[in-house]
Amino acid sequence: MPLTKRTHINPCFWSALWNENYHCHFTANQESKLRARDATITFLEINSNKILTLPTNDVFFEKNLGLAPIEPKKALEFCKRHHPDRYETFAKEIENDPTTLILDFENIISGLEKLPIYGSMMKLARTGKIEDDMEKSWLSFFSTHHQLRSHQYLNNLTELYEKQGRAKFEAYIELKWQLSGTEFMTEETITAFKRKWTVYRTPKKIIPLSDAPIVGTPHLQFVTIAPDTLITIEYHDASTGMGIEYRERIPPNIYNLFIRSIIQYATKGLAFYNQKDAQKCQELSAWRGRRRALRVN
């Protein structure tokens, strides 16, 4: 099986929006000579507390996250649980060829990018508008399913399986089965669609991108779209129409809550549109508290 060296949390074509040149061409619907994976962005790294300039291809990834070894013994245990009728035949095959294989889950993670959820998200990043219920449906899907490609979710999932004496590859296989089912997280997606949304399209590019770009509080869910576009989803159903309100200014209390929330769940760091905003974040007590919580120097 092919080996994957890295697994990206946020696709390059998305994080490139935090590059000024790329963002300007993108929102003007112009083709940029700068490829998304070659664009550099300002990144405040949480471990070093340094402000770096990195290509999008090197931001928000965890090496070998998508790889899972399949050891013969664990493969037999998996077969016995899920395909007991094939166990004896499979045991003989393993005996003849006791090779440890590598499951590559990267194609499943990157396969999410081919769904219309990312097309709708990038269209919103360009126009600042959600045209119809179909687009809101795909964005609802994005707000509930994007977290499945995060390293926090995948690491927590594999840790849970390991506590049960089950291997990492089992977590990935069963997640793939769930993703293939029409009912998996359907209720959450429908719930998000029915709720009241506010789309903030700000003149200033003040919204950072995190490795956990979709976070919740007791009252709101925040969905990062672009450095100038943020969605809030309230925890009650919309009363009329599409249930979407548009605003050009984020109230200070909402923005501060968003910043604290996005910092609280960050494990790699935050990408900013400019260095000034990264420097401001360095000085926040929430940022210092998060670094203490992660026990980094």
Average pLDDT value for residue range 25-53: 91
Phi, psi of 197 (to 5 degrees): -110, 145
Q: Could you tell me whether strands 195-201 and 244-247 are parallel, antiparallel, or unpaired per DSSP bridges?
A: parallel
Q: What pLDDT is recorded for position 210?
A: 93
Of the candidates 208, 205, 198, 258, which has an alpha carbon nearest to the alpha carbon of residue 231? 198
Model pLDDT for residues 196-231, shown as the tens digit of each residue: 999 999 999 999 999 889 998 988 999 999 999 999
- Are 198 and 128 contacting, i.e. CB atoms less than 8 angstroms apart? no
Q: What pLDDT is recorded for position 5?
A: 42
Report d(CA 259, CA 254) in Å as an integer: 9
Average pLDDT value for residue range 266-271: 93
pLDDT higher at 2 or 278: 278
Neighbours of 113 (CB within 10 A): 15
pLDDT at residue 36 is higher than 90 = no
For residue 59 the two structure tokens come to 């931001």
Relative orientation angle of helices 133-145 and 116-127, to the nearest 10 degrees: 110
Q: Of 25-34, 41-50, 188-197, 200-209, where does mean pLDDT reach its minimum?
A: 25-34
